[in-house]
Structure 1
């Protein structure tokens, strides 16, 4: 597995905690805290788009 640099866990009230990470190859990772060995992997741009969409309310129907 790539050498991933993980951010501190993000924990919403009453929800699972997740972590966002990146590697030197331009990949981005998202994983449930404690399960970093099985992350969802995509490009940094895809992760950036996901975060922007969540912040703008485009994913509210998923919550």
Structure 2
């Protein structure tokens, strides 16, 4: 696996913790805290779009 720089875990109350990461090749990663060896991987641009869409309410129907 690439050399990923992971951010601190993001944890909701009573939920799993997730981590976001990036590598020098321009990839973005999302993983469950403690399972960083099995991340979802895409470009940093795709990760940015996902986060901005979630912040804009695109996933509110899942809550």
Q: Normalising by structure 1, what TM-score? A: 0.96
Question: 1:26-57: per-residue Cα shift (whole Å, max 9, x none)?
Answer: 00000000000000000001000010011111
Large movers: runs of 4+ above 2 Å: none
Where structure 1 has 5 or more consecutive residues not aligned to the other structure, the ranges are none
CA RMSD of aligned residues (A): 0.6
**Separation in 2 of the partners of 1:51 and 1:20?**
10
**Separation in 1 of the partners of 2:62 and 2:49?**
16
Where structure 2 has 5 or more consecutive residues not aligned to the other structure, the ranges are none
Offset at 1:11?
Answer: 0.3
Q: State how many pairs are aligned.
A: 63
**Separation in 1 of the partners of 2:13 and 2:53?**
21
